[in-house]
Amino acid sequence: MRRALYEKNGLDDILYLSADAPEHLLEEAAATLSGMTGCAVIASSPSAEKALIRRIRFVQTGGCTAMTVLITSTGSVKTKLFRCDFVITPQLLEKLENTVNERFSGMSVNAVTPAFMQTTAAAFGEMSMLMANALTAVHEAANEAASTGVFIKGQANLFTMPELASADAKRVMELLGHTGELTRLLSSAGDRASIMIGSEIHHPALARLSVIASYYTASPDCTGTIALIGPVRMDYPKMTAALEYTAESVGALLTGLLESN
């Protein structure tokens, strides 16, 4: 028990250092959990379907350059650099930031389409000439925020599992390269850890393996999944405990991140 408590406390410390953005946190969670369990680990970022633009900021990086910082309701932060053909002043950036937020704040990231951007540019009139590159950067950042990220760590562990021949491990590796397939697979997870063994997974590449998956939750609109892929003969209570604790920690840290933004 003491060892388990020590490992959990150590996990919290490691994850806390990466809790500046959901993507960094999930990547570190997958890497750490993989090292703890010896399994391959998949972590999906919060679904972008309900993500809203919380705020857009512009940060000057040079005389004629600035960075767009787009923050969403799920805690995602996307940045894009842009350049202007004129000298940028703090006053201009402030005016640009206020104008853009009046238009975009509260919007779904999925609603920032090329057609919407054209309408927005027309609505800004003459000012759109000054904002063209900034608006392009906002569009690109919103497109990135609209996609669900999948982070995979510990793939090499698959080749050490006696259940898998080399050809089987390669098929699993091919599966891990298809984000859509992985998202569908992870969607079957529940609030608590769900265990699927062999044929229960309904994917031929994983027929000789087990998957344990669990949701993490930071808010009703900010949820994702973390999953272990490992051998059928694994220590299920130990692996499940590690996964559930990691999911709870990720959810708590994401909640803090959302509140700070």
Q: Please tell me the chain's helix, strand, coil percentages from 3-state DSSP, rounded to the nearest 5.
A: 50, 25, 25
For the chain, the domains span 2-47+149-260, 53-145
Can you read off the two tokens belonging to residue 237?
């209570």
Average predicted confidence (pLDDT) for the chain: 84
Residue 104 near residue 53 (C-beta atoms within 8 A): yes
CATH of domain 53-145: 3.30.390.60
Mean pLDDT of all residues in 12-19:
83
Q: What is the pLDDT of residue 33?
A: 93
Higher pLDDT, 137 or 167: 137
194-197 vs 209-219, strand pairing mode: antiparallel
Q: How confident is the model at residue 217 (pLDDT cuts 50, 70, 90)?
A: confident
Q: What is the pLDDT of residue 108?
A: 93
CB contact set of 116 (below 8 Å; sequence gap of 6+): none
Mean pLDDT of all residues in 229-243:
90
Cα angle 234, 239, 242 (rounded to 5 degrees) comes to 165
Strand residue runs (E) in the chain: 40-44, 53-60, 65-72, 77-83, 150-153, 194-197, 209-219, 222-231
d(CA 129, CA 95) in angstroms, rounded, equals: 14
Higher pLDDT, 5 or 225: 225
CATH of domain 2-47+149-260: 3.30.450.40
d(CA 169, CA 42) in angstroms, rounded, equals: 16
